[in-house]
Amino acid sequence: MAVPFHMGTPDAYEGAPLVITMFLNIFPKIPLLSSYAYIYNTCFKSYLTHINNIILLIAILSII
């Protein structure tokens, strides 16, 4: 998830059962993650150190 977009889920699925909320939040992200990993490993091999630093920064900002 990107930094400013991580609070949309509580508003969108308020009142829905937990199983439905988990299904709608987790399963659409699996194909996105696999396509991201494929692109990351095939197209950007020469930029891995720079991309890793950017991903680390985004992860830290998302946690904060």
User: Residue 36: which of 23, 18, 53, 55 has the closest Cα?
Assistant: 55
Of 7-11, 22-26, 47-51, 54-58, highest mean pLDDT: 54-58
Closest CA to 1 of 45, 33, 31, 23: 33
- What DSSP string runs through the chain? --GGGTTHHHHHTTTS-HHHHHHHHHTTHHHHHHHHHHHHHHH-GGGHHHHHHHHHHHHHHHH-
Give the mean model confidence (pLDDT) for residues 20-36.
Answer: 84
Per the listing, tokens 């720079």 go with 50
